[in-house]
Amino acid sequence: MSCQHLAEATAVEPRTTEGCPDCVALGEADWVHLRGCLSCGHVGCCDSSPNQHATKHFESTGHPVMRSVEPGEAWRWCFVDEEIG
């Protein structure tokens, strides 16, 4: 693995797996998949979702690595290096 962010990411538990809290706060429920931040546990919707809250979380915080919180998925994504791990 060439990405230092992926290599150093810890296993922070997602704050929820029930939905995108940012979409819920907007009164929307049209997210596609959920991603959990490995720095703080924030959960946001994926880039296939209209609001792309996982990417917006990275842009506002600089937290580099998200992981899928979808059942049966275990991959992680580094926004900085654009690398999957």
Task: Encode pLDDT of 27-54 as tens digits.
Answer: 999 999 999 999 999 999 999 999 999 9
- pLDDT average, residue stretch 2-6: 92
- At 45 the three-state DSSP class reads strand
Quick check: 14 pLDDT over 70?
yes
Query: Which has the closest alpha carbon to 63: 28, 38, 31?
Result: 38
DSSP conformational letter for 67: E
Given phi > 0 = left and psi -120 to 50 = alpha, else beta, which region is 63?
Answer: beta
Residue 16: pLDDT band with limits 50, 70, 90: confident
Quick check: 58 pLDDT over 90?
yes
Which residue has better confidence, 70 or 17?
70
pLDDT value at residue 17: 83
**Domains of the chain and CATH, by start:** 4-84 (3.30.40.10)
- pLDDT average, residue stretch 50-64: 98
